[in-house]
Amino acid sequence: MNVLGIETSCDETGVAVYATDAGLRAHALYSQVALHAEYGGVVPELASRDHVRKLLPLIRQTLGEAGLRVEDLDGVAYTAGPGLVGALLVGAGVARALAWALQVPAIGVHHMEGHLLAPLLEDPALRPPFVALLVSGGHTQLVAVEAIGRYRLLGETLDDAAGEAFDKTAKLMGLPYPGGPQLAALAEQGRPGAFRFARPMTDRPGLDFSFSGLKTQVLLAWQGSDQGEQTRADIARAFEEAVVETLAIKCERALEATGHDTLIVAGGVGANRRLRAALEAMTARRGARVRFPRPAFCTDNGAMIAFAGALRLAAGLHDDAAVRVHARWDMAGLPEVRGGRG
């Protein structure tokens, strides 16, 4: 089964083809970073219009790279939420129209389930149960995964997501958009121990997160400093260390609480090198294991949507012809995939 995947939840247009018998055939991604940089953040209307311009050319490109014609598709998967409604509607409209024209099934994929399943895309031996850390610009969640489609929320952020905290902290120190990757790169030049910030909510039981207070600590430290380049790097390192250690502590608690020995990490912040090293060290110490998608599949992409959709379509699940998208969508309400890899 050849499944086309379409991702348009925010500011990246992603397209991929996944074959249930051969794996990922091709994928392409267009980022709108340059478009939104002038405004210091994503402008929803501009994002939607750019998806309209880029989606069909990317579909043609991806099919060509896969060596397929549009008639060779057996199903279409698209991000149905959560995300920006206008951007989601572009992908959903194209996907539903294409599926109708080809008379093939289509399915709306939960964006965060796509991220959650991304490590399985290239690791066929990886199966539930495991703990998943979903850590991105919009979400920071710990999820117990008992089967594909059977998810239990263990903890989540009470305010800023980790990626959002990276972006806001970078902005307050004058780093260009998008700030998170800029801050992580700058942290490599910081001196260890020059600053130290709290590890929020690690001094109490539970698996929830909070990063807004950490952001305030950084602001006060920056305002009270000489604001030189080395100081900026030192603060960036201390901030990154605080976020990474907090995430590692909570992940270890989640493994203890569930009794699972596998941790998977997905979402844009999952590409952070310091986080990867910390989680590898923590799981090795416990005799457990951690798995990440390749960095290109940590950020939003069509491959994860094609893969997640293919699993559901192969299990006989599909949607009706209505075009539905969800700005917010609880992953716990998804149906379980039976008879598949879960």
Is 136 a known ligand-binding residue?
yes
pLDDT value for 137: 85
Please give the sequence-ordered ranges of beta strands (E in DSSP) within the chain, or none if there are none: 2-7, 12-19, 23-31, 75-81, 106-110, 130-135, 140-147, 150-156, 262-266, 289-291
* Token pair listed for 27: 């994928």
Is 138 a known ligand-binding residue?
yes
Contact (CB, 8 A) for 335 and 315? no
> Going by C-beta distance under 8 Å and a sequence separation of 6 or more, which residues neighbour residue 250?
142, 155, 202, 207, 209
pLDDT value for 340: 56
Q: What is the pLDDT along the chain (342 residues), one digit of tens a residue?
A: 999 999 999 999 999 999 999 999 999 999 999 999 999 899 999 999 999 999 999 999 999 999 999 999 999 999 999 999 999 999 999 999 999 999 999 999 999 999 999 999 989 889 999 999 999 988 999 999 999 999 999 999 999 999 999 999 999 999 998 899 999 999 999 999 999 999 999 999 999 999 999 999 999 999 999 999 999 999 999 999 999 999 999 999 999 999 999 999 999 999 999 999 999 999 999 999 999 999 999 999 999 999 999 999 999 999 999 999 999 999 989 999 986 564
Cis peptide before 295 (omega within 30 of 0): no
Is 72 a known ligand-binding residue?
no
Is 301 a known ligand-binding residue?
no
pLDDT value for 338: 84
Q: In whole angstroms, give the CA distance from residue 60 to residue 116.
A: 27
* β-bridge pairing 2-7 and 106-110: unpaired
* Token pair listed for 338: 């039976």
The secondary structure of residue 70, as a DSSP letter, is G
Q: In whole angstroms, give the CA distance from residue 336 to residue 342.
A: 9
Is 56 a known ligand-binding residue?
no
Is 84 a known ligand-binding residue?
no
Radius of gyration, CA atoms only, the chain: 20
Contact (CB, 8 A) for 210 and 163? no
Is 134 a known ligand-binding residue?
yes
Question: Which DSSP string corresponds to 3-48?
Answer: EEEEE-SSSEEEEEEEETTTEEEEEEEEE-HHHHHTTTS--HHHHH
pLDDT value for 18: 98
Is 114 a known ligand-binding residue?
no
Q: In whole angstroms, give the CA distance from residue 80 to residue 223.
A: 42
Is 300 a known ligand-binding residue?
yes
Q: In the beta sheet, which residues pair with residue 24?
A: 18
The edge-to-edge listing of strands for the beta sheet with 23-31 is 23-31, 12-19, 2-7, 75-81, 106-110
Global pTM? Answer: 0.95
* β-bridge pairing 262-266 and 289-291: parallel
pLDDT value for 124: 81
